[in-house]
Amino acid sequence: MTNSPQTYDRSTLETDLKAIHAKGVPGLLAAAHTGRELLTVGYGSADRTSDVPIAHGSHFRMGSTTKTFTATLVLQLVGEGRLSLDDTVEDWLPGVVRGNGNDGTKITVRRLLQQTSGLAEYIYDVPIFTANDFLEHRYDSYTSEELVAIAMRHEPKWLPEPGDQRWSYTNTNYVLAGMIIEKVTGNSRAQEVTNRIIRPLGLDHTFAPGDDPRLPDPHPKGYTEFPDSAEPVETTEMNLTPCDAAGDLITTAADLVRFWQALLGGELLQPAQLAAMKQTVPAAEWDLIWPGARYGLGIGQFPSSGGTYWGHAGNTPGHTAHSGFTEDGRRGMVLFTTLWQPNENALPIEKLINDAMDHLMCD
């Protein structure tokens, strides 16, 4: 950490956001809980073509932070004795993970949540990674079954063996976890996340949008750097069904802070299940952005100057979300941006976001 302040305050957060904005991010919104108070700060604008500030109550897509919600649902079912982390995918979804060397009998629920299944990624086969493809296909809709079927066209990276800790991040794991939630409960995953997390915590602005491509007001416009476009493309509207249980939730900064504090504070999971969530393996794929990062069950553990913190990041076209909280959840930050860069240009920005988290954690 560099230039650590003696006491973390609003000016520290504003300085950090200003540095990120200077790297070309149109707009940012952060909510940082110091353990004493919640500081909410916006920087930049809600629209590249105007100076309209980002409203503190703005809606954002949380992207892969959805995975932490999905893992929490699974672990709640484990705590109720309705599911075991040692159950296999084949036990709950017979015949779904099969073909091209894939084998659902080798993959446990734990491995899905821990990203140690070896399954291939489906998302890169969804046509949203160039400006032309995105603009043509942004409203396309997918079912969970269709997404898994795309992944099954590919051979797995490996078939896990007992004790295997090889790690590879893939959205496929969490689409399958969502399907298992639906099989166990008989309800949609969106209904379960509403009944078990959103409603009990009073997260009034958090929801799964289904195939509705819009964001509720207020919201900032989102932008994406595509390889076939010289300028960032406005990508605010998008059908999120390709993200499914791996990344489709919409939220606000205040709601997401409330979720993390409740989760890490023990409000959502029994002690045994929260402890299981925090059993981590090395996440070597992330070392370029977060050296020494580890991954548990839908949650990451990240080194900082003050020790480690827990959280998850997420990206969707137009938005990024970063979350980091202390062990007990009392102290932490949610930081949203309105620029997605699926390329090396994101690395300097990620470093500055890491610095912002670090400044809060080591106060």
Domain containing residue 125: CATH number: 3.40.710.10
Does residue 2 belong to any structural domain of this protein?
A: no
Decide: 35 and 331 in contact? Cβ < 8 Å: yes
Does residue 5 belong to any structural domain of this protein?
A: no
Scan for tokens 């990062």, then name that residue: 293
Claim: this prediction has a pTM higher than 0.85: yes
Does residue 3 belong to any structural domain of this protein?
A: no
- Domain extent at residue 45: 10-361
Q: Is 63 helix (H, G, I), strand (E, B) or coil?
A: helix
pLDDT at 172: 98
Q: Is 336 helix (H, G, I), strand (E, B) or coil?
A: strand
Residue 301 pairs with which residues in a beta bridge?
294, 310
Does residue 99 belong to any structural domain of this protein?
A: yes
Cα-based torsion angle of the residue sequence 93, 94, 96, 100 in order, rounded to the nearest 10 degrees: 140
pLDDT at 184: 98
Does residue 33 belong to any structural domain of this protein?
A: yes
pLDDT in tens, the chain (363 residues): 444 445 899 999 999 999 999 999 999 999 999 999 999 999 999 999 999 999 999 999 999 999 999 999 999 999 999 999 999 999 999 999 999 999 999 999 999 999 999 999 999 999 999 999 999 999 999 999 999 999 999 999 999 999 999 999 999 999 999 999 999 999 999 999 999 999 999 999 999 999 999 999 999 999 999 999 999 999 999 999 999 999 999 999 999 999 999 999 999 999 999 999 999 999 999 999 999 999 999 999 999 988 899 999 999 999 999 999 999 999 999 999 999 999 999 999 999 999 999 999 987
Domains in the chain, number: 1
Decide: 293 and 283 in contact? Cβ < 8 Å: yes
